[in-house]
Structure 1
Amino acid sequence: MKKTLLLLALTAASPALARDTVVKIKLADVFELPEAKQKLDGTVKIYLDGQKTPSVKKTLGSDVTNKKTNAVGKSDEFACKWATLSALIALQEGAKKNGANAVVNVVSYYKKVEFKSATEIECHAGTMVAGVALKGDYATIGK
C-alpha cells in the first residue's frame, strides 16, 4: 500500500519536474550545419521577421510548422539546432508545394506565442525533447 501511495505521489509531482528551457539559436549557425547544406537546397530563401528581404512580388499564404527532436544525451544547443533545421526543411517543402521561392516574416511561434528576431529562433528544450515552432508567409520574391 505504501509503495502504491509513493508511486502515485511521484507521478503527480512529475509535471512539476518537467524542464522547459528557452534556448535562442542563431539562424546563421543552423545554416552552417553540414546537414543543412545537404537538406536546404537554396531554391527557397528564408527570411526572419525583421531581416531585409528582396521585394515581395506575391504572397502565397502562410503556414506554421512545429518540429520536435529527441534531446536525450544531446546538449540543448545541438538538439535545438536539429529541431530548427527540421522546421526549416518543412517550410522549404511547403514553399515548393505552394509555388513560392521564399518564406518571409518568419517568427518563432512556440505554443502560439510569437518571438520575433532578425537573427534568432526560439527553441524550448526539455529533458527528453526539444521543440521549435515557426510561422511564416510563402512568397515569390525578386532577385
Structure 2
Amino acid sequence: MKKALLLLALTAASPALARDTVTKVKLADVMALPEAKEKLDGSVKFFMDGAKTPKVLKTLGTDTTNKKTNGVGKSDDYACKWAALSALIALQEGAKKNGANAVVNIVSYYKKVEFKSATEIECHAGSFVTGVALKGDYATIAK
C-alpha cells in the first residue's frame, strides 16, 4: 500500500518537474556579459540570420551546438545567457578549427526546430537544466 501511494505521489508531481519555459535573450546582452569578454576573443564575429552581415567571401560548412547549464538557483534569464555563451564559445572554437573568422546565419535550433531572429536567441529553461542550441555557417567575411 505504501509503495502504491508513493508511486501515485511521484506520478502526480512529475508534470510540475517537467517545466520547459521558452525564453528569448538578446545576442547583444550575451556578448555584454563579463564572461563573454573573457572567453570570446574577438577573432570570430557572430551574425544572427537576418542581421546585417559583411560580405561573405567563402562559406566553410555548417555546425550545430547544443549546450546546457544547471538552472537550479538561477533566474531563467541568467541561465539562458550562460547557456547561450557556452554555445557561442563552441561555435568560436569550431570556426577557428575550420579557418573561419565569422559564424553567419545563426538560428536557434532547439530539438531541431529553427527559430530565426536578427537579434534574439531562443532558450528553454527547465526545472533543473537550461539549454540553448544554435546552428550557423562558418564563413570568411571581408574585414
* TM-score relative to the length of structure 1: 0.96
Aligned-pair distance for 1:92? 0.3
Aligned-pair distance for 1:74? 0.4
User: Greater CA deviation, 5-14 or 69-78?
Assistant: 5-14
In the alignment, the residues of structure 1 paired with residue 19 and residue 68 of structure 2 have an alpha-carbon distance, to the nearest angstrom, of 15
Q: Who is 1:27 aligned against?
A: 27
In the alignment, the residues of structure 2 paired with residue 30 and residue 42 of structure 1 have an alpha-carbon distance, to the nearest angstrom, of 14
Two-structure CA RMSD over aligned residues (Å): 1.0
In the alignment, the residues of structure 1 paired with residue 80 and residue 5 of structure 2 have an alpha-carbon distance, to the nearest angstrom, of 35
In the alignment, the residues of structure 1 paired with residue 60 and residue 9 of structure 2 have an alpha-carbon distance, to the nearest angstrom, of 49
Q: Who is 1:95 aligned against?
A: 95
SS at 1:83's partner residue?
helix
Q: Who is 1:6 aligned against?
A: 5
SS at 1:41's partner residue?
coil
Aligned-pair distance for 1:14? 4.8
Aligned-pair distance for 1:15? 4.4
Q: Who is 1:38 aligned against?
A: 38
* Number of residue pairs matched by the alignment: 142
Aligned counterparts, 1:1-143, within 5 A? 2-17=1-16, 18-143=18-143
* TM-score relative to the length of structure 2: 0.96
In the alignment, the residues of structure 2 paired with residue 95 and residue 14 of structure 1 have an alpha-carbon distance, to the nearest angstrom, of 43
AA aligned to 1:6 is: L
SS at 2:41's partner residue?
coil
- Change beyond 3 A, Cα 1:129–1:121: same
AA aligned to 1:120 is: E
Identical-pair percentage: 76
SS at 1:5's partner residue?
helix
List gaps (5 residues or longer) in structure 1.
none
Aligned-pair distance for 1:59? 0.5
List gaps (5 residues or longer) in structure 2.
none
In the alignment, the residues of structure 2 paired with residue 112 and residue 15 of structure 1 have an alpha-carbon distance, to the nearest angstrom, of 25
In the alignment, the residues of structure 1 paired with residue 105 and residue 29 of structure 2 have an alpha-carbon distance, to the nearest angstrom, of 19
- Change beyond 3 A, Cα 1:14–1:69: same
In the alignment, the residues of structure 1 paired with residue 73 and residue 57 of structure 2 have an alpha-carbon distance, to the nearest angstrom, of 44
